[in-house]
Amino acid sequence: MFERHKGGDRAVLVCLDFNEPDYRDGQEEFVQLVESAGVTPVAMIEGSRRKPDPAFFAGTGKVEEIAEAVRANQAELVIFNHQLSPAQERNLEKAIQCRVVDRTTLILDIFAQRARTAEGKLQVELAQLSHMSTRLVRGWTHLERQKGGVGLRGPGETQLETDRRLLGIRVKRLKTQLETVQKQRQTQRRARERSNQFSVSIVGYTNAGKSTLFNALTKANIYAANQLFATLDTTSRKLFLDQEHSVVISDTVGFIRQLPHTLVAAFRATLEETIQADLLLHVVDVNHPLRDMQVEEVNKVLNEVGAEHIEQLMVWNKIDLKGLAPAVEHDEYDKIRAVRVSAAQGEGLDLLRGALVDAMSQPVEE
C-alpha cells in the first residue's frame, strides 16, 4: 500500500471506523495528507468502534496492536486520522512509548511546510500555538531562544507556568504583527474598490485544480502540484477577459473535511479576500467520486468565514479525465451556473472567460 513513498519519519497510521458511510475515501485522503507532510507510512491500523474511548480514543487491545506495529516497523511516529484530546494524546504516548499526533497537528504541520509569505507564516504559527497550548507537555525552549531566555523565569514559577507565559507573549506578538499586515491588505483592497475593479476569488476543495486554473488563465507561475494544500497564500493577478473587460482574480487555500477550527480562525485574514469578492469561482474535480461531499465541505467553510452570500459560478474541472467536452451549463432562468473545463489541458477557458464577462454584466443583488 505504501511502496511508492520514500523518506521522512516512519509512521504507523491509525484510522478507526465509527460507522461513517465515506470511511474508505476518508482513509485514502488521510494517506494523501500523511504523504503530503513528507512522512513515510509503514503500517495502517484499522478497527471499528461505536464511540471513542475516553482515555485512549482506541480500545486497550487496539493500543497494544499499535504499539506492536511501532516496534515491528521501527516507527518514530503514530498518526491518528482523528482529533485527540490532550489527555488522550499523553496517555497514548505513555502506553505506546512513541510520539503521537492527531489529524489537526498533521494538517498544521503541512501548512507550516507550505507557507511562503510573511503573513502565511504568521498565521500558521498562530494556529500551531493555539492548538499546542493545550498540549504543554514537552519543552518550549524554542520560545525561550526567540525571547532571549535569561531572566524570563519568575520567582517560584514551575517550568509549565513559564512555558505558558512564554507562549502567551509569543501569541500576543504574532497577533500584533498580523494586525499590521491586515491593515496593509485593507488599504490595497480599498484602492481596488475605488478603481471599481470587479474581483473574483477561486475557491474549492484541496487538489481540485485551483492553482492550475489560476495559472492557465493568468499565465502566472504559482506553485501547483498534485498534492494536498499545494497553495496556502492568496495570490492576486489582473486578468483581461477581452478588450473591454478585466477582473482581479485571486487564488486561495484549498479546503478539506474536518478543517481545524484554529486554521479557519487563523486564516480568516487571508480568506477575507474571498469574503470581499464579487464572484466566487468554485472549482470542483468532476472526476472525483466524492465531488458532492467536497462541494458541501467547501460551502461549510465559506459559511464559517461569512462568504455564503456571494454569488458562485461552478467550474467543473478535469473533464479530460472524465471524457467530457467543454460546455456551459445554464439554469432554468437561462443564467450560466457552471462551466466545464480542463485547466491542465487548457480546454474550455474561453467559455469560462465569456461566463465571467456575463457575470460582470449581471445586476448586483441587494
Packing angle of the helix pair 118-132, 268-275 (nearest 10 deg): 120
**253 in a labelled binding site:** yes
**208 in a labelled binding site:** yes
Ranges assigned E (strand) in 113-245: 198-204, 235-240
Residue 348, number of CB atoms within 10 A of its CB? 24
292-300 CB contacts, 8 Å cutoff, 24+ apart: 293/22, 293/257, 294/204, 294/205, 294/208, 295/205, 297/205, 297/255, 297/256, 297/257, 297/259, 298/203, 298/204, 298/205, 298/255
DSSP letter at 135?
A: G
**230 in a labelled binding site:** yes
C-alpha cell at 234: 492568496
Q: Which amino acid is at 202?
A: I
Alpha-carbon gap, residue 197 to 286, rounded angstroms: 30
- Dihedral pair phi/psi, residue 230, rounded to 5°: -65, -30
C-alpha cell at 39: 512522512
**206 in a labelled binding site:** yes
**209 in a labelled binding site:** yes
**229 in a labelled binding site:** yes
Alpha-carbon gap, residue 22 to 27, rounded angstroms: 9
CB proximity list for 105: less than 8 A, separation 6 or greater: 131, 132
**317 in a labelled binding site:** yes
Residue 120's alpha-carbon distances to 114, 127, 199, 282, 293, in angstroms, are 9, 11, 21, 22, 27
**233 in a labelled binding site:** yes
**320 in a labelled binding site:** yes
**252 in a labelled binding site:** yes
Place of cell 472567460: 353
**Which strand (E) or helix (H) includes residue 316?**
strand 312-317
**232 in a labelled binding site:** yes
How long, in residues, is the chain? 366
**231 in a labelled binding site:** yes
**274 in a labelled binding site:** no
Q: Is 311 in contact with 336 (CB distance < 8 Å)?
A: no
**Which residues is 44 bridged to in the sheet?**
13
Residues at the annotated binding site for GTP? 204-211, 229-233, 251-254, 317-320
Annotated binding-site residue numbers for Mg(2+): 211, 231
Which residues are known binding-site members? Answer: 204-211, 229-233, 251-254, 317-320
